[in-house]
Structure 1
């Protein structure tokens, strides 16, 4: 039985695509191999969002080509579209697939392997990933994604509901709904649909344990959607927003079409309606034109805002984007500003976890090993417990008993 391994880089949508590929491979008789150095087939789902992502992709491909020269290599996604791959040293039989051909990946691989055995697939993950949308119609001045992913394309509501039912039938208790620009779900369909409309149907699917949302664009977070995601007991109280900055001047340079006053209103409403939710944000530091005054506004905002964690990125110029041609902030200054924000982020993350000391929280068992189990709570806290009655994917309740800088410890609440 041929074996396969999938290496993911980048966003939650890439994870959802890999989840779907693995499901089809296993149903067709292939065996999952966790170690890509031992697999017959290695799929690399790439990311070109930052220069660092490009380096990570190239480093992995070089390493796996050295450690497993006999493996069939399939490289797919944004690095193929973006032209950032170095193909001169790749094996002649390497298969390169752009984003537009990703849907064909399983069939093209299986046709070449000439295997279509039917097997009972075991879940690759503890949580299911449901891709609702791909691409983006917006043109933020820093972002290469619309160029490599294309325009926004949504899957129909009926198709997504049917897919959700199949995932639940396979035993998944948590479904993560994701998209490149999830907040614009349905606006490209005829007739048009909305994310709120999709969610209203998804939370009613029989057998659903919980539904977690990937990144949300605050520009689309109107009162209807905000009230729905904070009011439904089926939707995890974990909301991640693509804020990017907190200086109106920099937001304008970014082409974001948003402002700090709007961010404050949205975050305040989410916190008021869901006091125990984990609220997070993406932040870009060192964007071209970011002056010290802009950074101070950003630092003051993230310090005072009801945010529980931050994903801080030092700006990385991407070829072909407007911002790449503008005068750049120095690398040393970007590192300094990033370090300051990451210190704030660490303090906020720890304070959030400490709020729940001694409290019982619902969660999903993510993995189990010789040291115990890792549980992800509904509000996005990773808790390490020494023993747990549930296996990966099972729903449990945990009580947090200690909080350290990198570790949250707990016990199963019986």
Structure 2
């Protein structure tokens, strides 16, 4: 039987695409492996958001050249849109599939494999699904390549998303995540126009769907109606991640982001007051060419006093073809120092937030079993280790009491 391994780099949209491919490959009798060493075909879903992401893709491809020289490798994703020159030295790459042709990937895998297999029965236990409802971006921030790599914003029609989620729920999934490059631009390109909140209102009516999880949201498009729905609808997971990028007004302006720190504070306070249990996260970019010491200190003070519980910190890396790539850079040493400081701050804030739940009970979904323990994920996205019981099968919804928290893990027991 032909088998394939899918290796994702980058965003939740890539993960959602891999989820869809895995399901379709099983339908046509191609097994999706968890170990690339056992696979005849390896799909690399690449990322080009940062220079580090590109380097990680190339490093993995070099490893495949050494350790799996006879495997057939398909490279897709954003790095194929940027340049295929990167891949000339990799002799085992069989095919490039650009973002615009990703819908053909399953057919291309079948062609490479000569597959004539029968449908593979899926696992009995299903916990969390992830679907792509939007792709592309119209924002054109001055540091970002994504609009040129992913194209204009495009939404999956509302009825199609509803049908997809109904099918997923019927298969036994308890939670569905919605992914998009610019998720809360959902529906603005449709005719007639729709919106993310309109989609959410339809999805929460689906019988058997317990939770909806939202991927990263742009604060510029968080309407009062959407915010209100996010805090009041119990089926929306209390885990909200925002693409803030910075807080200094001057840096935000040069980034091309029409937001202010006051806007951010109002949104974060509204989410915190409406969902006290919510994990609130953000993407933060340090070392942007316009970032003076005073801008950095403003950002650090903002993050310290904000209700954010964690942040993903990225150091600016110039992307050829963007305006910011032409501007005078911040010294690498300074960028690293600032990024390290903010990552440390994030760890401390996240630990304090998790400790506030000691002794409390949270709803969770069992994700996988590891020996005598299981890993569960709470609705506010704490990964928790707890002992195996008769009812802690993967896919089950349980209630967990938090018993121990440290920098590295959260432990609990079934309540």
TM-score bracket, normalised by the shorter chain, equals: over 0.9
Match of 2:404, SS state, is: strand
Deviations 1:346-402 (A, max 9, x none): 011001100110111011112211151111110111111122423222211111100
* Residue 118, structure 1, aligned to residue 108, structure 2: no
- Structure 1 position 223, deviation (Å): 1.0
Matched, 1:259 2:274: no
Looking at structure 2, the residues matched to 371 and 98 of structure 1 have their Cα atoms a distance apart, in angstroms, of: 43
Distance 2:269 2:87 in 1: 49
More off after superposition, 19-28 vs 111-120? 111-120
1:57-104 CA-to-partner distances (Å, cap 9, x unmatched) read: 000011012111111100001010011652222236611011001111
Check conservation: 1:80, 1:98, Cα contact below 8 A. Answer: yes
Mapped to 2, the partners of 1:84 and 1:97 lie a distance apart of 11
Equivalent residue number for residue 294 of structure 1: 295
Shift of 1:53: 0.3
* Pairwise CA RMSD: 1.3
Cα distance change on mapping 1:300 and 1:130 into 2, 3 Å: same
Q: Which moved more, 1:107-116 or 1:138-147?
A: 107-116
In structure 2, C-alpha distance between the alignment counterparts of 1:288 and 1:125, rounded to whole Å: 45
Instruction: State the distance in 1 between where 2:11 and 2:54 align.
Output: 13
Render the CA deviation track for 1:184-242: whole Å, top value 9, x for unaligned.
Answer: 00000111110010000001111101000000110111110001011111110111000
Contact 1:175 1:211 (C-alpha < 8 Å) held by counterparts: yes
* 1:162 and 2:197 matched: no
Corresponding position of 2:76:
76
CA contact 2:126–2:172 (8 Å) conserved in 1: no
Once the two structures are TM-superposed, the CA of residue 126 in structure 1 deviates from its matched residue by 3.6
Q: Which residue in 1 is equivalent to 2:65?
A: 65
Alignment of 1:1-400 (within 5 A): 1-83=1-83, 86-91=86-91, 94-123=94-123, 126-388=127-389, 389-400=391-402
Q: 1:411 Cα shift?
A: 1.0
* Contact in 2 for aligned 1:126/1:367 (Cα 8 Å): no
Gaps of 5+ in 1: none
Give the drift of 1:330: 0.8
Aligned partner of residue 87 in structure 2, secondary structure: coil
Return closer, same or farther for 1:93/1:410 CA change in 2, 3 Å cut-off.
closer
Shift in Å, 1:107: 1.1
Structure 1 residue matching 2:88: 3-state secondary structure: coil
Contact 2:375–2:386, Cα closer than 8 Å, also in 1: yes
Describe the SS at the equivalent of 2:303.
helix
- Paired residues, what number? 413
TM-score w.r.t. length of structure 1: 0.97
User: Distance in 1 between the 2:18 and 2:160 partners?
Assistant: 19
Counterpart secondary structure, 2:228: helix
Structure 2: runs of 5+ lacking an equivalent = none
Cα separation, 2, equivalents of 1:391 and 1:75:
35
Tell me, in whole angstroms, the C-alpha distance in 1 between the residues paired with 2:401 and 2:157: 40
Q: Distance in 1 between matches of 2:251 and 2:121?
A: 48
Contact preservation (8 Å) 1:37, 1:64: no
- For the Cα contact (< 8 Å) 1:8–1:44, is it kept in 2? yes
Which SS does the other structure have where 2:66 is aligned? helix
